[in-house]
Amino acid sequence: MSSEILSNIMSLIIDITFFYIILFFLSLSIVLCIEIEINDFHPQERDGLLVLRDSLNSSINLHGNWTGPPCINNLSRWFGITCSNWHVVHITIQGVNLSGYLPSSFLQNITFLRQIDFRNNELFGTLPNLTGLVFLEEVKFSVNHFSGEIPLEYVELHSLKVLELQENYLDGEIPPFDQPSLISFNVSYNHLVGKIPETSLLQRFPKSSFDDNSDLCGFPLDKSCSVEPPAPPPFAIPPSSSMEENKKRLQVWIIALIVIVAAVLFLFLVIIAFLFCKRQAKGNERRRDDSTRYVFGAWAKKMVYNAGNSEDSEKLGQLEFCNKKFQVFDMDDLLRASAEVLGRGDFGVTYKATLETGNIVAVKRLSYINELHKREFIQQMQLLGEIKHENLVEIISFYHSEDQKLVIYELVSDGTLFELLHEGRGIGRIPLDWSTRLAIIKDIAKGLDFLHQYLSSHKVPHANLKSTNVLIHQDNQGYHSKLIDYGFLPLLSSSKENEEKLAISKSPEFVKGKKLTHKTDVYCFGIIMLEIITGKIPGHILGDEVEEITTNDLSDWVRTVVNNDWSTDILDLEILADREGHDAMLNLTEIALECTDMIPENRPKMSVVLRKIEEMEQIIKENE
Ligand SMILES: Nc1ncnc2c1ncn2[C@@H]1O[C@H](COP(=O)(O)OP(=O)(O)OP(=O)(O)O)[C@@H](O)[C@H]1O
């Protein structure tokens, strides 16, 4: 009996030992696999591709897609990249408006490259250096804007099978290609010159490979290369008699005299015409012709007509002034001001009005919201008009009648944050540096924090915070930002349709129909921060890593990239090179992600956000 128990125990011990041995080998193999995978990731290839990504613009979002390692499990999820044996072997990005200059040495470490294909794009500058790419078989750069000469070292690419350079602006002579591997060659539609080299290889290609070049000659083209004709002898001036010379001089003088007299006469006529027109214009002005008078358009004319076609501003109704300093014009002056449309928003049209008094103001005509009750409108405008802060656009005065509601703002002259961040991207744009971006973020935070304190009883004090509602003023001390379109929510709350036009409608709580609070503004602020840091337009992120689960793809995208530990991939190209700023940029990204937390209660208060930004700014200053 006891020997049976002993043998059972022994067999149990053997089983357990066996189990642990198997477990040990299994873990070892997993570790080895991971090790192999990590070792087989080639960071220098990634670096080369990132240099390329960061130098070019395109219709596809390379910056959002080329993140993480290019080759995982021997496959690539990067647009246009193919991997083999954990190496990048193909770069194929054709027909996607890829524009810019190829960086000089981006291919240097992609040593296993077999194919590079940038056909049908808008690439400028010289062709890239391909030295050392011994496995390169296909080079396709046709239909671009490449210029300069075909690099001589291309003749050293001994594996090259296909070279397509047609439809560019290449000049100079064709290098003596003679590698036996080359089976397809095309340099047509360029500005190449000189004789086609008489190598046995080039003589094999058809005429169409060389057609339509500026000055190319020799076989297989029909044009033979003529020998340079000797330079003509220097031009000899035939002797002329002094009589003839005098006659010619006299003729020149007569012509000059006629021209001068005609010019004086013409000038005289122009002056008379100008004086006449001026008199006419004065007369017209005095008559105050209706057609030139109400430059704001038909609505202004109608207002005057309804007021009894009178010049009396009393009948038009009064402008109510929040800032008495500006009380130097009345409604009639305003309607007679010269005006131009600044933009059209969801709630009406905004004009720039230049008054005869010399004042220039912005006039917002709230025309797409009808149900603004007079008493509520006036109360709210009086309240908003009292707000004075350097980062909030000041309300100068307002006007309410049954069919016209006007808000007159101070004019902030240098465009919006949206324009500053996104307009004119590409060649020729002056990059918006990191310190300027930080200053803008701080200005917005200051303005919003003030608003939260001043309108503390309001559900959402701003409610329409987005980059088109941040106006920019530039002076010799830099950029200053001011928030506009704040405080309208109480006037719109009766209509869901109107609320949906506000920036707060993008917040998770609005989408889910939950309670809106000050934290809803904080969410909008977080999105603006991300827009400033990434240079991306909210709602415009492409790529398969972002599914449409929330209304704001920008914060989703940033979260995905940051969680995957490739944080600097989110930074706008214009600030990426500023390595010293990376820590601050990523710290601010963290704050922005806190602000855009799906749960409103988890978001910080604006006063806390402002304090954090100021502390960060202080640290940066101390480190300088
Ligand atoms: N006070 C101002 N000073 C200078 N420009 C202004 C001023 N207010 C508005 N603008 C300009 O007028 C444009 C239109 O403004 P508006 O507020 O009518 O629409 P929006 O801000 O583009 O859209 P939304 O109605 O969604 O806020 C703005 O983009 C801005 O360029």
Give pLDDT tens digits for 24-67. 544 444 433 333 344 456 778 888 888 888 888 777 777 777 87
Give pLDDT tens digits for 410-444. 999 899 999 999 888 777 788 999 999 999 999 99
Residue-averaged pLDDT of the chain: 83
Beta bridge partners of 407: 364, 398
- Check residues 215 and 479 and name the one with the higher pLDDT: 479
Q: In whole angstroms, what is the distance from residue 99 CA to residue 59 CA?
A: 9
Give me the residue label for tokens 């240079």. 535
Burial of 167 (0-12, 13-18, 19+ CB in 10 A): buried
Q: How far is CA 159 from CA 138, 156, 235, 526, 544, in A?
A: 9, 9, 54, 52, 36
Q: Look at residues 139, 175, 182 and name the one whose alpha carbon lies nearest to residue 161.
A: 182
Q: In whole angstroms, what is the distance from residue 134 CA to residue 160 CA?
A: 9
The CA 26 to ligand 1 mean position distance, Å, reads: 65
The answer to whether the bond into 128 is cis (omega within 30° of 0) is no
The CA 485 to ligand 1 mean position distance, Å, reads: 8
Task: Please give the angle made by the CA atoms of 277, 360 and 525, to the nearest 5 degrees.
Answer: 145
Segment of 12-16, 237-241, 327-331, 619-623 carrying the highest mean pLDDT = 619-623
pLDDT of residue 265: 86
Q: How far is CA 557 from CA 527, 560, 569, 578, in A?
A: 12, 5, 11, 22
Largest CA distance in the chain: 150
Minimum-distance ligand 1 atom for the alpha carbon of 416: 31
Q: Look at residues 53, 199, 490, 547 and name the one whose alpha carbon lies nearest to residue 499.
A: 490
pLDDT of residue 549: 40
Sheet-wide strand order for 147-148: 147-148, 169-172, 191-195, 215-217
Ligand 1 shell residues, CB under 6 Å: 342-343, 345-348, 350, 362, 364, 393, 409, 411-412, 416, 464, 468-469, 471, 484-485
The CA 491 to ligand 1 mean position distance, Å, reads: 18
Question: Strand (E) positions, 173-287?
Answer: 184-186, 191-195, 215-217
DSSP string, 403-469: S-EEEEEE--TT-BHHHHHHTT-STTPPP--HHHHHHHHHHHHHHHHHHHHHTTTSSSSS---SGGG
Query: Is the model's pLDDT at 237 over the cut of 60?
Result: no
Q: In whole angstroms, what is the distance from residue 208 CA to residue 465 CA?
A: 59
Residue with CA at minimum distance from ligand 1 atom 24 = 345
Mean pLDDT of 301-311: 61
Lowest mean pLDDT: which of 10-14, 555-559, 605-609? Answer: 10-14
Query: Is the model's pLDDT at 453 over the cut of 60?
Result: yes
The CA 471 to ligand 1 mean position distance, Å, reads: 8
Domains of the chain as residue ranges with CATH? 43-217 (3.80.10.10), 297-410 (3.30.200.20), 417-623 (1.10.510.10)
Query: Is the model's pLDDT at 230 over the cut of 60?
Result: no
Distance of CA 601 to the CA centre of its chain: 33
pLDDT over 90 percentage in the chain? 43
For a mutational test of ligand 1's pocket, the pick from 395, 484, 488, 491, i.e. the residue with the most ligand atoms closer than 8 A to its C-beta, is 484
Query: Is the model's pLDDT at 71 over the cut of 70?
Result: yes
Go through 245-256 and write b for each residue having 16 or more CB atoms within 10 A of its CB, e for each that does not: eeeeeeeeeeee
Lowest mean pLDDT: which of 118-127, 322-331, 497-506? Answer: 322-331
Residue 484, phi then psi, degrees to nearest 5: -130, 175
Q: In whole angstroms, what is the distance from residue 229 CA to residue 233 CA?
A: 12
Residue with CA at minimum distance from ligand 1 atom 18 = 345
pLDDT over 70 percentage in the chain? 80
- Residues sharing a CB contact under 8 Å with residue 492, sequence separation 6 or more, in sequence order: 369, 498, 499, 502
The CA 342 to ligand 1 mean position distance, Å, reads: 7
Query: Is the model's pLDDT at 198 over the cut of 60?
Result: yes
Length of the chain: 624
Task: Please give the angle made by the CA atoms of 460, 461 and 467, to the nearest 5 degrees.
Answer: 95
Band of the pLDDT at 306, cuts 50, 70, 90?
low
For a mutational test of ligand 1's pocket, the pick from 322, 323, 342, i.e. the residue with the most ligand atoms closer than 8 A to its C-beta, is 342
Asked if residues 339 and 351 have their Cβ atoms less than 8 Å apart, the reply is: yes
Give me the residue label for tokens 């007079």. 374
For a mutational test of ligand 1's pocket, the pick from 349, 350, 352, 528, i.e. the residue with the most ligand atoms closer than 8 A to its C-beta, is 350
Give pLDDT tens digits for 270-297. 888 878 766 655 544 433 344 445 566 6
Asked if residues 594 and 526 have their Cβ atoms less than 8 Å apart, the reply is: yes
Q: Look at residues 463, 503, 480 and name the one whose alpha carbon lies nearest to residue 420.
A: 480
Note the pTM of the prediction, 2 decimals: 0.61
State both tokens at 430.
């002056």
Go through 459-487 and write b for each residue having 16 or more CB atoms within 10 A of its CB, e for each that does not: bbbbbbbbbbbbbbbeeeeebbbbbbbbb
Q: In whole angstroms, what is the distance from residue 392 CA to residue 455 CA?
A: 13
- Residues sharing a CB contact under 8 Å with residue 603, sequence separation 6 or more, in sequence order: 519, 522, 523, 526, 594, 595, 596, 597
Give pLDDT tens digits for 2-16. 566 666 766 766 666
Minimum-distance ligand 1 atom for the alpha carbon of 348: 18
Minimum-distance ligand 1 atom for the alpha carbon of 502: 26
Q: In whole angstroms, what is the distance from residue 317 CA to residue 66 CA?
A: 60
- Check residues 387 and 104 and name the one with the higher pLDDT: 387
Mean pLDDT of 567-578: 89
Q: In whole angstroms, what is the distance from residue 85 CA to residue 479 CA?
A: 51
Give me the residue label for tokens 């993140």. 67
The CA 469 to ligand 1 mean position distance, Å, reads: 7
The CA 349 to ligand 1 mean position distance, Å, reads: 8
Give pLDDT tens digits for 482-525. 999 999 998 886 778 888 999 999 999 999 999 999 999 999 99
Query: Is the model's pLDDT at 232 over the cut of 60?
Result: no
Give pLDDT tens digits for 145-167. 898 899 999 999 999 999 999 99
Q: In whole angstroms, what is the distance from residue 559 CA to residue 570 CA?
A: 10
Query: Is the model's pLDDT at 236 over the cut of 60?
Result: no
Segment of 225-239, 410-424, 557-571 carrying the highest mean pLDDT = 410-424
Q: In whole angstroms, what is the distance from residue 272 CA to residue 95 CA?
A: 60
* Residue 9: count of CB within 10 angstroms of its CB: 10
The CA 236 to ligand 1 mean position distance, Å, reads: 70
The CA 204 to ligand 1 mean position distance, Å, reads: 65
